[in-house]
Structure 1
Amino acid sequence: LENQVRIEVRNAQFAVQQNRASVEAARAAVELGRQSLDAEQKKYALGASTTTLVLQNQRDLAQAESNLVSAMSAYEKSRVELDRAIGFTLDRLGILVADAERGQVTKMPAVPYVTERQGLTPEVTQPQQPQPQAQPQQPQQQPPQQ
C-alpha cells in the first residue's frame, strides 16, 4: 500500500510538471499566433496579402488560445490530483475538518473565486424541514342536467 501511494504521488508530480510545460508551450504558441496575425494584417494593409491568409491566421490564433485554455485546465486538474494524492487538499484551501463536524465555518476557505456572502448572521441555521404540500381540491362535478 505504501509503495502504491508513492507511485501515485510520483505520477501526480510528473503530471504537474508535464502539464506546466504544456502551458508554457501553449503560451508561446499564442504569442507566435499574435505576431503572425499582426504581420499578415500589416501585409494586407499594404496590399501584399489576401483576406484568406488573414482569416487563416485568425483561425490559427483562436486555435492556439483554445489549446492554451485546455492546457491550463489540465494543469490545474493535475495540481488538484497531486494535492489529493498527498492529502493536502483541505489544508491548501483552508478548510478545517472541525468546522465541518460542528457545521459552522469559523474561517473563510481560500477557494479561488469564492467570496464571503454578505448579510449572513454568524449563527448556525438548522436545515429546514420540507413542508407538506396541500393537495389541491378538485372541483366537484355537477351531474349532467337533462
Structure 2
Amino acid sequence: MAPPKPNTKPPKKAAVIHNVAKIASESDKFRRVVWTGKHSQMVIMTVPVGGEIGEETHSVDQHLYFVSGTAQVITEGKHDNISPGDHVIIPAGTLHNFLNTGPNPLIVSTVYAPAEHKADTVHDSLEQGEKLEDEGKDEPPEWARK
C-alpha cells in the first residue's frame, strides 16, 4: 500500500488515511510526512533494528503511537519499555529518545502539534534527517507555523 501523497498547501478538507499501520509497516524510510495541517502534522517512522529516533527536544508537543516492534523510551533520565499499541505523549521542551530494543524494525505513527518538518519530508535515515535539520532544509511551511 503506497503512502498518501503529502499535501504541501494548507488543507481545505478532512483527510482520511486508511490503514495507517499497513502504510507505516511497508515504509522503509526512517521518517515520512503523511499530512500537514495548520496546527499539527502526521509522520510515520521506521526505526531499524538497533536504531534510535535520536535524543532530541522539540518546541512542539509530540504524540507517538507504536504500531509494531519494541522500544525503550528515555525521558528526563527515566526508562520505560514500549510495546505495540502503546501511546507516548512528549510535551514541548522534554528531552527524549526511543531505542529499538527488538529483533524487528520499530514502526511508529507520530503527530507533532504544530508541525515540525517540511510538508513533503522523506528521510532515509536518522543521519540524513539530522543533517537536513541542521542545514535548515527541513522546516515546516510558513502556513503551518501560525
More strand by share: 2
Higher relative contact order (CA 8 A, sep 6+): 2
Give the alignment's TM-score, normalised by structure 2.
0.17
Give the alignment's TM-score, normalised by structure 1.
0.17
Question: Which of these two proteins has the greater Rg computed from alpha carbons?
Answer: 1
More helix by share: 1
